[in-house]
Amino acid sequence: MVEAVGTKDRVARLCRRYGSGELDGYIAAAGGTEILSRIRAAVAAGEGETLAADLDALDDAVAAVGLDGLSTPVRVLPKVPGTTGYPVLDTEVCPHGVCSRVEPPDGSPARRCAISGEPLRRLRLRT
């Protein structure tokens, strides 16, 4: 479930993030190339009515390959069906708690803060 964010804000966020040139691999791996094509065509034509559903579909697709919040600042994950509690998400965060950096662990030794040089701190979140 996506936190309530206006479509214009979602398009602006996608525009900023897509402009970095680093998303094509994620989108292709997620099978989202056609969805992105529809979004690009709708934006170019000024047709905002169809964007929300395609933004949701693209966000869901890339989340499946490890990239969350493509067009939204925050995603709220539902309870996993068939479980008695809520799932947990292991993350790596700022070692000093002064920035909002959150990384999914990738199995390698802890990544480091580029500013302080210290390893990111492991944090388990309940979703």
- Residue-wise pLDDT tens digits, 42-88: 988 888 777 889 999 998 888 877 777 788 775 555 555 555 555 56
Determine how many CB atoms are found less than 10 A away from the CB of residue 92.
Answer: 20
Question: Which of 16-25, 33-42, 55-64 is predicted with the least confidence, judged by mean pLDDT?
Answer: 16-25
Confidence of residue 1 (pLDDT cuts 50, 70, 90): very low
- For the chain, strand residue ranges (E) read 88-93, 102-103, 121-126
Map residue 11 onto helix, strand or coil: helix
What was the pLDDT predicted at 38?
93
> Over 90: is that where the pLDDT of 19 sits?
no
109 backbone dihedrals φ, ψ, rounded to 5°: -55, 155
Phi-psi region of 108 (alpha: psi -120 to 50; beta: other; left: phi over 0): beta
Helix axes 7-18, 33-45, angle to 10 degrees: 120
88-93: strand order across its sheet: 102-103, 88-93, 121-126
What was the pLDDT predicted at 5?
66
| Whole-prediction pTM | 0.56
What was the pLDDT predicted at 32?
92
What was the pLDDT predicted at 3?
44
Tell me what percent of the residues of the chain surpass a pLDDT of 70.
81
